[in-house]
Homo-oligomer: A and B are copies of this chain.
């Protein structure tokens, strides 16, 4: 259906490849790896506001808001597909249903961020970490990337801290706690869910907000590839 001129670019782990306040003319499709959207305070501490997995468009909203109010960082080695805004605008002009798919994608992004806000504002550290693992289990699951209740989610504890609004030291202790409770194990190169129901209970997790049930349409990434 769509032969878009996607420009593939490899990005090294821990590179900030979109800066705050830049005006950009393309959107980033994640082909491989993990990308974090983040912002920071004046003192320099970071808060990650989204994690993007393969198939996600990391900054589809940049099509309608080309001046960024956030930045993007590669959490692992990443392969990016850069899609010009121009093409996406043309496409959304021609196909209203596609325009709505883009709009929907940005809305799901917002729904996820809403749930993260609840974690940041109202959940204890242990539940925040558990909740993140639940979400990642579901999202990797939808990509068919969970084998034996194990998936490759390889962030350093410092990176996790920036996602969870905690310090690396506290993340370490919470990870130990989850391991000792027998619900999940965070290892180098991969997370294993040892007790899904137990983990969900700790996290107070309900997957409805991920909107993974979407009738056949799949992700925006699917449409483009």
A positions within 8 Å CB-CB of B: 21, 37, 39-43, 45-47, 49-50, 61, 63-65, 67, 69-70, 89, 92-93, 96, 99-100, 102-104, 106-111, 113-118, 120-123, 164-165, 204, 208-209, 211
Contacts and interface: CB of A to CB of B under 8 A. Distances in A.
A50 B114 CA distance: 9
Q: In the complex, which of the residues A50, A110, A111 has the most CB atoms of chain B within 10 Å of its own CB atom? A: A110
B104 A65 contact: yes
B47 A117 contact: yes
A214 to B, nearest CB: 10
Contacts of A41: 118, 122-123, 204
A123 to B, nearest CB: 6
A204 B64 CA distance: 26
Contacts of A165: 120-122
Given A37-B114, A65-B108, 12 more contacts: A64-B107, A65-B104, A93-B96, A96-B99, A99-B103, A102-B103, A106-B107, A106-B110, A113-B113, A117-B120, A120-B165, A121-B165
Top 6 closest pairs, chain A to chain B, by CB: A121-B165, A61-B107, A120-B120, A64-B104, A69-B209, A103-B103
A70 B121 CA distance: 15
Contacts of A99: 92, 96, 99-100, 103
Contacts of A211: 65, 69
A113 B49 CA distance: 9
A44 B43 CA distance: 33
A41 to B, nearest CB: 5
Contacts of A61: 107, 110-111
Q: In the complex, which of the residues A46, A113, A204, A209 has the most CB atoms of chain B within 10 Å of its own CB atom? A: A113
Contacts of A204: 41-43
A64 B122 contact: no
23 contacts: A37-B114, A40-B118, A40-B122, A41-B118, A47-B117, A47-B121, A61-B111, A64-B107, A65-B108, A65-B211, A67-B208, A69-B111, A69-B115, A69-B208, A69-B211, A70-B114, A92-B100, A106-B110, A110-B113, A113-B114, A120-B120, A120-B165, A122-B165
